Amino acid sequence: MTDHLLDVQSLSVEFHTAGGTVKAVQDVSWYLDRGEVLAILGESGSGKSVSAAAVMDLIDMPPGRISSGRILFEGRDLLQLSQAGRRAVNGRKIAMIFQDPLSHLNPVYTAGWQIEETLVIHGTRRREARAQTLDLLQRVGIPDPAASAAKYPHQFSGGQRQRLMIAMALALRPDILIADEPTTALDVTVQAQILSLLQDLQRETGMGMLLITHDLGVVAEIAARVVVMNSGRIVEHGSALDIYRNPSHPYTRDLIAAAPGKGDLPSNTDRRADALLDVQGLSKSFGQFEAVRNVTFDVMAGECVAIVGESGSGKSTLAKAILRLDEPSAGKAFYKGRDLFSLSDKELFNIRRQIQMVFQDPTQSLNPRMSIYELISEAWVIHKEILPRAQWHERVQQLLEQVGLSADHAQRYPHQFSGGQRQRIAIARALALEPELIVCDEAVSALDVQVQAQVIALLSDLRKKLDLAYIFIAHDLPVVRDFADRVIVMQGGSIVEQGSVRDIFENPQQSYTQNLLAASLDPDPEIQAARRAARSL
Amino acid sequence: MTDSQPVRELPSKLVQLLRMLWRDKLACIAAAFLLLVICCALFGPMMLEDLATKQNLRGRNAPPFDFSKNWTFWLGGDALGRPLLARIIVAAGNTMMVAAGAVFCSLLIGTTLGMIAGYTSKLTSQIILRLADVIMSFPSLLLAVIVLYMLPASVGNLVIVLAITRIPVYLRTARAEVLEIRERMFVQAARVMGASTPRIIFRHILPLVFPTLITIATLDFAFVMLAESSLSFLGIGIQPPEITWGLMVAQGRSYLTSAWWLSFWPGLAIIFTTLSLNLLSNWMRVALDPQQRWRLEMSTQND
């Protein structure tokens, strides 16, 4: 009855931690056939990677323990095999690629040597291995294979490193390729390239591919079947299109509803006349390298301006320069008519409270040694004129409730909260200073889709209530679409295009913007299929 | 105020800390031992000074565990027949003063300079670092010899010399940690809020650097005790009839084959003191870190 290539049957894995036993996956069953792509979709902590780790024997035991289930590969139960038996299957029959290719490539060996080594370990002769390596590099689209083989991992870009990992995984022609969030760390345009490479390779070799992801767009682009996981259990299982069209489980429904970029575009409204921030000709260079080149834009009071660009486009450097965390090389930035870059320290101190920042990773932007009360009230320790000490307690509780937390969270420490809650705390801290402009540097990029939607809803709600202006920095276009009034597209340190959301999304003028829009993935499998068809023409 | 939850956490910081100490039994024993040493250091010289310096030639190198003798001789007698137990208790005073003083001074100065070097301009940082390099490259014993030939060998001068030679350790560590922590996001967040440099250093950076430095300091404690004894051995440290543990170890060295207890007991005192300090600093590292604290708080719920 087991004619599937890989068949996971009622697998349960638990981890013994100091906090008690955690059931990472419970009673999980799925199968993978030759020549198909199965996606496991879930948010962080849903256990989506655990069953794949069990297949690859990557679970540390203890603390982990496989409490029940079987993993059948070509009819044999992998869990019953000896260590040597597992090694013969791993790599040769089942290969895996990971999210962060840099940490999985050894920095002291050349890329070519590492791929050769994989072949040599599994019994290919050195000279043949060399030839095969060059073929593989060619196949995964690395330019000039012979020269690239002699380079070290750090000399490649993120996308190329992922290509190297794929080459290494495919070296032994495995029957199954497991890809754990293969494109999460990559820019959208690179992501599209890698996904299409994976798809081509899968069709060519007829291997089965298991894709673990949190991104509905990735599922829509590449997977035929999908398994949706939530807190260690499979909630739904079916074809990607079916699940997108008719989700039967409420969790899946919420997940699909939370996907950004589906609302109606706001119509072009007249901009207010009073410019809150007016940046003129801002440049910032590090030595010879110009990170930001002659950037000019403005932000009106109460407006949300999104700055979108891929990594290395200079968007974060721009934000740091505006906040004077880094001194700009040239240019002016008028905040309410006064140039931020020529302020004295004292004037700068006074303006600090009006421009606040929310950082990408709330785990790092909150001091782990301070309680929530200390974190939020620090604003008033620094700016004493805002609030007399007697009212601090009350105000902290108010702020916590305003961002959707409970008042008695004040005595806890950041590590006791989830990622989304921590970002709420960071927002509460920014609000404590009663700012008029908040710079959000990738403020929702590290969060799960549903949490992302909640935080964005919170930000727009606060904007209405408090008449805040935002500079919203993101690499993800769909997120921006639901939230911003204006969009600025950056590439290589300069502004490529700017305009209202509607103009940018419906009528992008520059080819870079058009590419960026085309590369971002839609959660609807049919739309993605149509786009794929359009691309291949 | 609002719920029962905050009220439950309300007992004062000190009570909370003591409770956490009680839960880590090893740290508790260590704290008790250190308390004993401190008491010896404070009251020992006053009460046992005469007993510890009185020679008794009939009790020369008296073996330990002879319970027929006076209790001060239970650990044996030294080469001049002075009771070892009494001497160890009295020596605790000088030893603690020199070691604690030197460690504290070098910790304070080293950390301050390290923080400054890590957080301010490149020029200041370079000057401080080169100074540290000079101290490091200069043999510490030679430095001590030179200084102590010029100045009288008092406890105060000894502390100064030992402190200077140990400063670079703290300075280097503090600077390295500051360089890493200052780039962290929450320091940037504080700068965006307009926090002043002292505030960032004391509120955001120091609490994260401190546990590392304290751990080094406890290890350094033993080093300083032994360094002090080698100075005494050269005749420029604490001189007889004053006593320290290090000096006792040094004096007993020539009798190691015939009367091991002369060096053994003061050596044991040094080991136990350092070990206790280590255990306590280990506990402190956990107790002061909100992310680790649950390890100490949880065990009661399990008990």
Chain A partners within 8 Å of B184 (Cβ): 364
Per-residue pLDDT, B171: 92
Residue B108 has pLDDT above 90, yes or no: yes
pLDDT band, very low/low/confident/very high, at A261 (cuts 50, 70, 90): low
pLDDT band, very low/low/confident/very high, at B1 (cuts 50, 70, 90): very low
Say which CATH architecture domain A34-57+82-258 belongs to.
Answer: 3-Layer(aba) Sandwich (3.40)
Give the CATH superfamily of A262-354+435-506.
P-loop containing nucleotide triphosphate hydrolases (3.40.50.300)
Per-residue pLDDT, A267: 67
Residues in chain B: 303
Burial B137-149 (b: 16+ CB within 10 A, else e): eeebeeebbebbe
State whether residue A384 sits within 8 Å of chain B by CB: no
Residue A327 has pLDDT above 80, yes or no: yes
Chain A partners within 8 Å of B206 (Cβ): none
Residue A287 has pLDDT above 70, yes or no: yes
Specify the DSSP class assigned to residue A90: B
- ipTM metric: 0.72
Domain ranges of chain B: 22-51+95-302
Residue B238: both structure tokens together: 């604490």
Contact present, A41 and A226 (Cβ < 8 Å):
yes
Report how far residue A163's alpha carbon sits from residue A186's, in angstroms, rounded to the nearest whole number. 12
State whether residue A382 sits within 8 Å of chain B by CB: yes
User: For chain A, what is the mean pLDDT?
Assistant: 84
Which residues lie below 8 Å from residue A161, measured CB to CB, with a gap of 6+?
Answer: A101, A102, A105, A153
Mean pLDDT of B161-187: 89
Residue A473: both structure tokens together: 């920095």
Per-residue pLDDT, B109: 93
Per-residue pLDDT of B255-270, as tens digits, reads: 888 888 888 888 888 8
Nearest to B61 by CA among B82, B40, B41, B86: B82
Per-residue pLDDT, A18: 64
- Do strands A355-358 and A437-441 pair parallel, antiparallel, or not at all (unpaired)? parallel
Residue B4 has pLDDT above 60, yes or no: no
Q: How far is B196 from chain A (nearest CA, A)?
A: 8
Per-residue pLDDT of A262-283, as tens digits, reads: 666 666 666 767 788 888 888 9
The residues pairing with A357 across neighbouring beta strands, listed in sequence order, are: A439
Per-residue pLDDT of A132-163, as tens digits, reads: 899 888 888 888 888 888 888 888 887 888 88
Rg (C-alpha) for chain B, rounded Å, is 23
Per-residue pLDDT of A376-416, as tens digits, reads: 998 898 888 888 888 888 999 989 988 888 888 888 888 88
Per-residue pLDDT of B28-66, as tens digits, reads: 899 999 899 888 888 877 777 777 777 777 767 777 777
Q: How far is B204 from chain A (nearest CA, A)?
A: 7
Percent of chain B with pLDDT over 90: 9
Report how far residue A527's alpha carbon sits from residue A26's, in angstroms, rounded to the nearest whole number. 34
Report how far residue A468's alpha carbon sits from residue A491's, in angstroms, rounded to the nearest whole number. 27
Per-residue pLDDT, A62: 66
All CATH 3.40.50.300 domain ranges in chain A, comma separated = 34-57+82-258, 262-354+435-506
Per-residue pLDDT of A494-522, as tens digits, reads: 898 988 888 888 888 888 888 888 887 77
CB contact under 8 A, A408 and B192: no
Per-residue pLDDT, A122: 79
DSSP string computed for chain B: --SHHHHHT-S-HHHHHHHHHHHSHHHHHHHHHHHHHHHHHHHHHHHHHHHHH---GGGTTPPS--TTS-GGGTT-B-TTS-BHHHHHHHHHHHHHHHHHHHHHHHHHHHHHHHHHHHHS-HHHHHHHHHHHHHHHHS-HHHHHHHHHHHS---HHHHHHHHHHHHHHHHHHHHHHHHHHHTTSHHHHHHHHHT--HHHIIIIIIHHHHHHHHHHHHHHHHHHHHHHHHHHHHHTSSS-TTS--HHHHHHHHGGGTTT-THHHHHHHHHHHHHHHHHHHHHHHHHHHH-TTTTHHHHHHHHH-
Contact present, A129 and A119 (Cβ < 8 Å):
yes
Q: How far is B188 from chain A (nearest CA, A)?
A: 7
- Which has the higher per-residue pLDDT, A371 or A525? A371
Topology classification of domain B22-51+95-302: MetI-like fold (1.10.3720)
Residue B301 has pLDDT above 50, yes or no: no
Q: How far is CA B135 from CA A254, B214, B222, in A?
A: 65, 21, 20
Per-residue pLDDT, A269: 67
Report how far residue B251's alpha carbon sits from residue B245's, in angstroms, rounded to the nearest whole number. 10
Say which residue the tokens 């990170």 belong to: A291
Specify the DSSP class assigned to residue A36: -
DSSP string computed for B96-151: HHHHHHHHHHHHHHHHHHHHHHHHS-HHHHHHHHHHHHHHHHS-HHHHHHHHHHHS
CB contact under 8 A, A365 and B1: no
Torsion region of A95: left, alpha or beta (phi above 0 gives left; psi -120 to 50 gives alpha): beta
Per-residue pLDDT, A262: 67
Nearest residue, CB atoms, B186 vs list A364, A379, A410:
A364
Residue B60: both structure tokens together: 């020369």
CB atoms near residue B236 (< 10 Å): 22
Per-residue pLDDT, B300: 47
Which residues lie below 8 Å from residue A240, measured CB to CB, with a gap of 6+?
Answer: A39, A219, A220, A223, A224, A225, A226, A525
Per-residue pLDDT, B107: 93
Nearest residue, CB atoms, B192 vs list A357, A361, A407:
A357
Specify the DSSP class assigned to residue A272: P
Report how far residue A395's alpha carbon sits from residue B202's, in angstroms, rounded to the nearest whole number. 25
Residue A288 has pLDDT above 70, yes or no: yes
SS3 of residue A313 by DSSP? coil
State whether residue A323 sits within 8 Å of chain B by CB: yes
Residue A440: both structure tokens together: 């959000």
Per-residue pLDDT, A218: 86
Q: How far is B291 from chain A (nearest CA, A)?
A: 6
Chain A partners within 8 Å of B13 (Cβ): none
Report how far residue A17's alpha carbon sits from residue A7's, in angstroms, rounded to the nearest whole number. 29
Q: How far is B133 from chain A (nearest CA, A)?
A: 30
Among the ranges given (A37-46, A246-255, B122-131, B284-293), the one the predictor scored with the smallest mean pLDDT:
B284-293
State whether residue A125 sits within 8 Å of chain B by CB: no
Mean pLDDT of B176-196: 87
Q: How far is CA A343 from CA A110, A295, A340, A351, A437, in A?
A: 50, 20, 6, 9, 18
Report how far residue A165's alpha carbon sits from residue A167's, in angstroms, rounded to the nearest whole number. 5
SS3 of residue A385 by DSSP? coil
Specify the DSSP class assigned to residue A404: T
Contact present, A405 and A428 (Cβ < 8 Å):
yes
Mean pLDDT of B100-120: 91
Most A CBs within 10 Å, among B180, B187, B193, B209, to test the A interface = B193
pTM of the model: 0.77
Most A CBs within 10 Å, among B9, B13, B186, B292, to test the A interface = B186
Stretch (H or E) spanning A22: strand A20-32
Contact present, B14 and B259 (Cβ < 8 Å):
no
Residue B18 has pLDDT above 80, yes or no: yes
pLDDT band, very low/low/confident/very high, at B2 (cuts 50, 70, 90): very low
Helix axes B206-234, B245-252, angle to 10 degrees: 40
Torsion region of A198: left, alpha or beta (phi above 0 gives left; psi -120 to 50 gives alpha): alpha
Per-residue pLDDT, B8: 47
Helix axes B185-193, A372-382, angle to 10 degrees: 40
CB contact under 8 A, A352 and B1: no
Please count the residue pairs, one from chain A and one from chain B, whose beta carbons lie less than 8 angstroms apart: 79
Per-residue pLDDT of A422-459, as tens digits, reads: 888 999 998 888 898 999 888 887 778 888 888 888 88
